[in-house]
């Protein structure tokens, strides 16, 4: 069997790193893409130390030229990508009346435009191979969250984008799904704690009580769901949003 080539964006740390490592352990070669190529070294090393193949790629997913060049580089140096995980995402929280144009645009550009640019660049390899798997990382905030008008709009947009991809690309053997995590312990939720002026431990305790399984999530929880969705056997599941939230969100 030929090895599948996956791209995971925002894979220098957090959920993206966990996903890249999991897909490599599933047998895929993984392009570890993040803003700064040097930051990807840790994830790449972990994959290589376990006997896998990985490539560090520096690119800003919101920039067309960088995205196109990055995907071409993956095809040339690692192999033609047929698995794409659009995980790169940021928060710039503020209540609506205080939210600046810049906060709005930055979040929409990375979280939503970034997924569009990456998917447009990668789909040509998937259609050529008549097989592909796309997973977009949404959020519980897609359902609405205080101080996250920009972020929740980007994630709800990502869910609509996912369903359209499923309808357009299904005939090429490509599935597109989204995962919607709730609180996962990463740098992003550490920032959230800072924004709330609370210690990370206190925020974790608060969220634990609200989550049915009585714990917060870890990157590996999301990676496992993504691993399933990009697997061969998940080929009849498309256009879905799977909550990875220790309970139902919707
Ligand atoms: N942590 C959570 O609780 C949680 C919950 C729901 C959804 N999510 C989503 O999961 C994804 C990963 O979140 P995380 O918690 O691991 O965050 P994180 O901040 O730990 O990591 C995000 C990574 O994305 C990279 N990145 C940011 N902007 C980029 C850009 N323009 N181009 C390329 N890379 C870029 C960062 O450098 C970073 O390495 C995000 O889409 C986030 O919205 C996280």
Per-residue model confidence as pLDDT tens digits over 201-225: 999 999 999 999 999 999 999 999 9
- pTM (predicted TM-score): 0.99
List residues with catalytic annotation. 151
The rounded distance, in Å, linking the Cα atoms of 219 and 212 is 18
Contact 85, 6 (CB under 8 A): yes
Residue 88 Cα to ligand 1 middle (Å): 5
pLDDT at residue 233, as a whole number: 98
The rounded distance, in Å, linking the Cα atoms of 177 and 77 is 27
> Does the beta carbon of 227 lie inside 6 Å of ligand 1?
no
Question: In the chain, pLDDT over 70 holds for what percent of residues?
Answer: 100
194 has a pLDDT exceeding 80: yes
Question: In the chain, pLDDT over 90 holds for what percent of residues?
Answer: 99
Mean pLDDT of 140-145: 98
Per-residue model confidence as pLDDT tens digits over 220-248: 999 999 999 999 999 999 999 999 999 99
Per-residue model confidence as pLDDT tens digits over 51-89: 999 999 999 999 999 999 999 999 999 999 999 999 999
> Does the beta carbon of 137 lie inside 6 Å of ligand 1?
yes
pLDDT tier for residue 130 given thresholds of 50, 70 and 90? very high
> Does the beta carbon of 162 lie inside 6 Å of ligand 1?
no
> How much is the mean pLDDT over the chain?
98
Residue of 7, 9, 15, 37 best suited for mutating to test ligand 1, as the one with most atoms within 8 Å of CB? 15
> Does the beta carbon of 221 lie inside 6 Å of ligand 1?
no
Residue 123 Cα to ligand 1 middle (Å): 22
pLDDT tier for residue 249 given thresholds of 50, 70 and 90? very high
Token pair belonging to 41: 């070294």
Residues 6+ away with beta carbon under 8 Å from 208: 214, 215, 216
Residue 45 Cα to ligand 1 middle (Å): 20
Per-residue model confidence as pLDDT tens digits over 147-192: 999 999 999 999 999 999 999 999 999 999 999 999 999 999 999 9
Residue 111 Cα to ligand 1 middle (Å): 9
pLDDT at residue 1, as a whole number: 67
> Does the beta carbon of 84 lie inside 6 Å of ligand 1?
no
Contact 22, 47 (CB under 8 A): no
pLDDT tier for residue 50 given thresholds of 50, 70 and 90? very high
């Amino acid at each position: 069997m030929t090895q599948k080539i996956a791209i995971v964006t925002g894979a220098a740390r957090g959920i993206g790193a966990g996903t890249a490592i999991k897909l490599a352990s599933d047998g895929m070669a993984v392009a570890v893409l993040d803003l700064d190529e040097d930051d990807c070294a840790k994830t790449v090393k972990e994959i290589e130390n376990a006997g896998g193949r990985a490539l560090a790629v520096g690119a800003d997913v919101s920039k067309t030229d960088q995205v196109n060049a990055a995907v071409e580089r993956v095809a040339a140096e690692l192999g033609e990508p047929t698995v794409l995980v659009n995980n790169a995402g940021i928060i710039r929280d503020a209540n609506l009346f205080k939210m600046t144009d810049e906060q709005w645009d930055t979040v929409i550009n990375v979280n939503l435009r970034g997924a569009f640019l990456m998917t447009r660049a990668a789909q040509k390899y998937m259609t050529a191979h008549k097989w592909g798997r796309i997973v977009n990382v949404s959020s519980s905030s897609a359902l609405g969250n205080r101080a996250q008008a920009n972020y929740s709009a980007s994630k709800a947009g990502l869910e609509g984008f996912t369903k359209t991809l499923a309808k357009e690309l299904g005939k090429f053997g490509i599935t597109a799904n989204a995962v919607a995590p709730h609180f996962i312990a990463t740098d992003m939720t550490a920032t959230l704690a800072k924004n709330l002026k609370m210690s990370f431990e206190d925020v974790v305790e608060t969220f634990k009580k609200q989550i049915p399984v009585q714990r917060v999530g870890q990157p590996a929880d999301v990676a496992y769901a993504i691993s399933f969705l990009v697997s061969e056997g998940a080929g009849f599941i498309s256009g879905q949003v799977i909550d990875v939230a220790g309970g139902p969100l919707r």
